[in-house]
């Protein structure tokens, strides 16, 4: 068994979650589900009247002998849906809280990504991984099965949060690999406009997009009661400040930024959730995938 960041108790709580696409439902189907399509299939569903262009081999000649009319057989067939995790590995993902310095945004994102792979594996869907950070993009093509899961888990284990996001021209492989109607699960802090714009662009290009924003407790509560030096993990820029004096203004600006992000996601049709470090990791996954597959929970 490969390295796995998902503890058994969390894996048990995730049973029954399903990842689906509203765009593909009823057209391509996904994983353990089926899509109704014209053509030879795996399981008979119904008859329909013959239409010009239908293959003669699909005509039910026994039914024709009884009715003197041409009917063709329709069937359901399996049609897997590719599920992608797009992971932000830029420097801000290394941020952790003072109370738990060994548990960063990236650590939580690893568990969430591995959980998505586990759900996709159980559904029988292919799944892939893209990591954007240090100015570059690394992609592992989607495939199905246990070996693929283990391959992606090793990539997650070795991921490091460094540098800034990749330039737009470095993102071309995303459009070459991730097809229309595929599912994309984005994991990041979404502090830079480029990552939000990428999510919007993916959704506009007929990808089914889910987003989990990862925040620290300090960002949510700003609990600092003393003077300190605040540092940007991506640029290294440092700003001294007095915690109590800054708290009200910071929380107001941060709250407004979160509301604006949620509004942009809603406008783009992106289903989204927030995970604050230290809170149960199953909560954002249940919020996104706890309803019927292919529907908004």
pLDDT, one tens digit per residue, over 278-290 is: 999 999 999 999 8
Q: Does the pLDDT of residue 140 top 70, yes or no? A: yes
- Per-residue pLDDT band for 292 (boundaries 50, 70, 90) equals very low
Last residue of a domain, one of 17, 49, 78: 78
Residues 110 and 239 in one domain: yes
pLDDT of residue 80: 64
Residues 208 and 283 in one domain: yes
Last residue of a domain, one of 60, 78, 96: 78
Q: Which pLDDT tens digit goes with each residue over 33-44?
A: 443 333 344 455
Separation CA 17–CA 294 (nearest Å): 11
Residues 151 and 226 in one domain: yes
Residues 47 and 89 in one domain: no
- 2 lies in some domain: no
Residues 273 and 156 in one domain: yes
DSSP characters over the chain: -----S-HHHHHHTTT-----TTTTTTT--TTSEEEESSS-SEEEEEEE--TT--GGGB-HHHHHHHSS-EEEEEEEE----EEEEEE-SGGGG-EETTEEEEEHHHHHHHHHHHHHHHHHHHT--EEEEEEETTEEEEEEEE-SHHHHHHHHHHHHH----S-PPPGGGGHHHHHHS-TT-EEEEEE---SHHHHHHHHHHHHTT-EEEEEEEE-HHHHH----SEEEEE-TTT--EEEEEHHHHHHHHHHHHHHHHHHHHHHHHHHT-EEEEEETTS-THHHHHHHHSSSTTS--
Residues 68 and 107 in one domain: no
What's the whole-number mean pLDDT along residues 229-242?
A: 78
The domain in which residue 44 lies consists of 34-78
Separation CA 46–CA 74 (nearest Å): 5
pLDDT of residue 12: 92
pLDDT of residue 252: 95
Q: Does the pLDDT of residue 242 top 70, yes or no? A: yes
Q: Which pLDDT tens digit goes with each residue over 114-124?
A: 999 999 999 88
Number of domains into which the chain is organized? 2
Own/partner contacts of 45-54, CB < 8 Å, gap of 24 or more, are 45/74, 45/75, 45/76, 46/73, 46/74, 47/71, 47/72, 47/73, 47/74, 48/72, 48/74
Residues 57 and 124 in one domain: no
Q: Of all residues in the chain, what percent carry a pLDDT higher than 70?
A: 84
pLDDT of residue 74: 59
Residues 68 and 206 in one domain: no
Separation CA 171–CA 176 (nearest Å): 9
Separation CA 74–CA 59 (nearest Å): 10
Q: Which pLDDT tens digit goes with each residue over 59-79?
A: 888 888 888 888 877 554 445
Q: Which pLDDT tens digit goes with each residue over 12-30?
A: 999 889 998 876 554 444 4
- Per-residue pLDDT band for 56 (boundaries 50, 70, 90) equals confident
> What CATH number should be reported for the domain holding residue 258?
3.40.50.410
Q: Which residue has the higher pLDDT, 54 or 195?
A: 195
- Per-residue pLDDT band for 45 (boundaries 50, 70, 90) equals low
Residues 204 and 281 in one domain: yes
What does pLDDT average to over the chain?
85
pLDDT of residue 104: 98
């Amino acid at each position: 068994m490969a390295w796995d960041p998902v503890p058994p108790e969390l894996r048990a709580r995730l049973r029954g979650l399903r990842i689906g696409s509203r765009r593909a439902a009823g057209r391509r189907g996904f994983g353990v589900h089926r899509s109704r399509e014209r053509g030879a299939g795996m399981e008979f569903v119904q008859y329909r009247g013959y239409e010009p262009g239908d293959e003669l081999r699909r005509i039910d000649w026994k039914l024709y002998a009884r009715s003197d009319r041409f009917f063709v057989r329709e069937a359901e067939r399996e049609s897997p849906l590719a599920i992608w995790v797009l992971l932000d590995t830029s420097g801000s993902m290394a941020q952790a809280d003072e109370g738990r310095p060994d548990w960063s945004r990236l650590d939580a994102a690893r568990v969430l990504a591995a959980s998505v792979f586990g759900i996709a594996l159980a559904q029988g869907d292919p799944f892939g991984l893209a990591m954007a950070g240090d100015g570059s993009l690394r992609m592992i093509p989607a495939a199905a099965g246990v070996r693929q899961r283990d391959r992606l888990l090793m990539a997650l284990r070795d991921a490091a949060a460094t540098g800034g996001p990749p330039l737009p021209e470095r993102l071309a492989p995303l459009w070459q690999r991730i097809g229309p109607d595929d599912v994309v699960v984005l994991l990041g802090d979404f502090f830079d406009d480029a990552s939000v714009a990428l999510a919007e662009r993916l959704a506009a290009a007929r990808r089914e997009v889910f987003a989990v924003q990862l925040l620290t407790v300090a960002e949510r509560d700003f609990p600092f009661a003393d003077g300190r030096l605040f540092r940007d993990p991506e640029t290294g820029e440092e700003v001294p400040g007095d915690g109590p004096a800054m708290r009200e203004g910071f929380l107001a600006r941060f709250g407004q930024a979160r509301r604006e992000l949620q509004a942009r996601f809603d406008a783009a049709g992106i289903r989204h959730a927030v995970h604050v470090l230290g809170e149960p990791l199953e909560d954002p996954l249940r919020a996104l995938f706890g309803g019927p597959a292919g529907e908004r929970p």
